[in-house]
Amino acid sequence: MRWRELDREACSVARTVAVIGDRWTLLVLRDCFLGVRRFEEFQARLGITRHVLADRLRKLVKAGVLRKVAYERRPLRHEYRLTDKGLDLYPVLMAIVHFGDVHLAGRRGRPLLHRHKACGKLFDPVTVCSECGEPLHARAVHVHPGPGARRGECIEGGADGWTG
């Protein structure tokens, strides 16, 4: 598997990593979800070079995760907004947040707390089954080839013991 060919793999993880799989892209997305939209704001918050930031924003726009919207005509200036496709990455970022909160937060605790607008409660992001609503854990899931699988390349199994 070659890094530049991940987007052609018959694997949803590989194809997603082709879009968001570097540290700067994930941090740009984090800031998008925190309301950052303008190039200078991203650069100031991240301490990233202009060249690298421009490359990551261009890549996210090309992938349809962000859209470029003019906010000033003279001189022409743009901001970057999450598309519906980009908003669908929220659970991915929240899963990373949850891992960091549980395993890496340190003695002082979580750096950010999340409150659900609908119920007003602070929450822990968890992944649940779309069918029964139960929380999902790696050892409680079995994986089977789907319609997009390539013949001979997929394995059945789960985190409790993969079988080929």
Average pLDDT over residues 29-54: 97
| Count of C-beta atoms within a 10 Å radius of residue 124 | 11
Torsion angle of C-alpha atoms 68, 7, 86, 137, degrees rounded to 10: -160
| Domain count across the chain | 1
Domain that residue 32 falls in: 1-83
Per-residue model confidence (pLDDT) at position 162: 41
Q: In the structure encoding, which two tokens stand for residue 50, read together?
A: 């202009």
Whether residue 98 is contained in a domain is answered as no
Per-residue model confidence (pLDDT) at position 23: 83
Burial of 32 (C-beta count, 10 Å sphere; 0-12/13-18/19+): buried
Instruction: Indicate which CATH number applies to the domain containing 14.
Output: 1.10.10.10
Whether residue 163 is contained in a domain is answered as no
Rg for the chain, CA atoms, rounded? 19
Whether residue 138 is contained in a domain is answered as no
Average pLDDT over residues 142-148: 85
Opening angle at CA 161, ends 155 and 164, nearest 5: 25
pTM listed for this prediction: 0.83
- Per-residue pLDDT reduced to its tens digit, 69-104: 999 999 999 999 999 999 999 999 999 999 999 999
Whether residue 154 is contained in a domain is answered as no
Half-sphere exposure of 74 (CA within 13 A, CB side): 0
